[in-house]
Structure 1
Amino acid sequence: MRKLVYFIAVSLDGFIAGPDGSDPTGPDGFWPVGQDYVQELVAHYPETLPGPAREALGITAEGTHFDTVLEGRRTFQIGLDAGVPNCYPHLRHLVFSRSLAESPDPGVEVVATDPVARVRELKREAGKDIWLCGGGELAGVLRGEIDRLVVKLGPLTLGSGIPLFGQKSAFDPTVYERTDVTLLDSGTVFLTYDKTVGASDD
């Protein structure tokens, strides 16, 4: 069965973005993005780079881990505000929203139904794993369905912002096993955790 993988950059104090939810790695962002960070993505997670970045870097390789990406409405809006209606045209792209009336791009599927039920359907389909791109609110809703965490731990603290699982996630201790770690000279640490067998998944 396909895994749902939350592949996300997070600060040392547990935030994935600032209070306004804007792109922390964008032109006006505050997230430190070293050259080795980009190289790590290109080498091992090329499908997680947005289409414009893949084009600029000359990347044409198919995904090594994922063939599907999931986004919440606010995360999707970051691309729309940048004039990119589909940041991941090389992946099957689903956006979970009850407020988005129609898709702005034929390659983007808008899902207004229960995220948990839809993800369970996706898991039963054939294919590579499913990338949960964000944001925190959607991750909080889907927390019980997450099989793997790939945390790109950045060398910074924010003080406040959007937490890893959003503001409304319920208290539900879940144990993961660390299965991989990659240390970058620029300070970011890629940490991979798999949910332990028998861990709660609702």
Structure 2
Amino acid sequence: MARKRKIIVYIATSTDGFIARPDGSVDWLDRPRPKGNYGMGAFYRSIDTCVLGRKTYELSVSFGMRDGYAGKKNYVFSRTLKKAASPKGIIVNEGVAGFAERLHAEKGKHIWLVGGSELVAAFLDSEQVDEFIIHVIHTMIGEGIPLVAPRHRNLPLKLLASKTFPDGVVGLHYAVRKNLHT
């Protein structure tokens, strides 16, 4: 039976597959966005839950998002943080599989797996990622943090949609194939 709530990785990468520079900087993403901001508004309305790793959460806080993503439940996976910068952030220090199964079972909208690389890999290890929406930015940064921690290289995906935006950014929407017959 298909899951009603999907866990979706919605993220931007450089053309060479990195989500950030080695130091975590995403300065290369600072660019004018086209009307519609690559469909972010529609995606944001389709979710009610955000799941972040500690480093991604701390980067969000540094951008002034102390309360996390507005109007959403914000879960932060961390082995070191005892509490979030705001009461609106919920620290998670349990295994991914059980946590994700509970989220899938709850009523609600879809779930945004914001990142980073290690958390995406952990969700993939537990077979909990349903879709990827990747916006490929036409910039190469040479080195950095990959979209997924290096242990995942043979993940079958099914292309659901692709779109080229006026500024040259390419949006790719994939379903994670749970077996080779889907």
Q: TM-score, normalized by length of structure 2? A: 0.88
Superposition misfits of 4+ residues, deviation over 4 angstroms: none
**Pairing of 1:40-79 with structure 2 (within 5 A):** 40-41=38-39, 43-45=41-43, 47=44, 63=45, 65-79=46-60
Aligned residues: 175
Could you tell me whether the CA contact under 8 Å between 1:94 and 1:111 is conserved in 2? Answer: yes
Could you tell me whether the CA contact under 8 Å between 1:37 and 1:184 is conserved in 2? Answer: no
Q: Report the Cα distance in structure 2 between the residues aligned to 1:72 and 1:99, rounded to whole angstroms.
A: 11
Q: Report the Cα distance in structure 2 between the residues aligned to 1:67 and 1:18, rounded to whole angstroms.
A: 29
Report the identity percentage.
Answer: 28
Matched, 1:188 2:169: yes
Matched, 1:13 2:16: yes
Q: Report the Cα distance in structure 2 between the residues aligned to 1:15 and 1:172, rounded to whole angstroms.
A: 14
Matched, 1:36 2:37: no
Could you tell me whether the CA contact under 8 Å between 1:79 and 1:86 is conserved in 2? Answer: no
Could you tell me whether the CA contact under 8 Å between 2:121 and 2:152 is conserved in 1? Answer: no
Residue from 39, 54, 70 that aligns with 1:89? 70
Could you tell me whether the CA contact under 8 Å between 2:55 and 2:116 is conserved in 1? Answer: yes
Which ranges of structure 1 fall in alignment gaps of 5 or more residues? Answer: 48-62
Q: Report the Cα distance in structure 2 between the residues aligned to 1:76 and 1:43, rounded to whole angstroms.
A: 20
DSSP 3-state at the match of 1:35: coil
Q: TM-score, normalized by length of structure 1? A: 0.80
What one-letter code is carried by the residue in structure 2 that aligns with 1:117? Answer: G
* Alignment correspondent of 1:146: 129
DSSP 3-state at the match of 1:101: coil
Query: Aligned pair in 2 of structure 1 residues 10, 172: CA closer, same or farther (>3 Å)?
Result: closer
Cα-to-partner distance string for 1:85-127 (whole Å, 9 max, x where unaligned): 2231311110000100112212111001112221111011111
Could you tell me whether the CA contact under 8 Å between 2:9 and 2:132 is conserved in 1? Answer: yes
CA RMSD of the aligned region, Å? 1.8
* Alignment correspondent of 2:159: 178
Which ranges of structure 2 fall in alignment gaps of 5 or more residues? Answer: none
* Alignment correspondent of 1:54: none
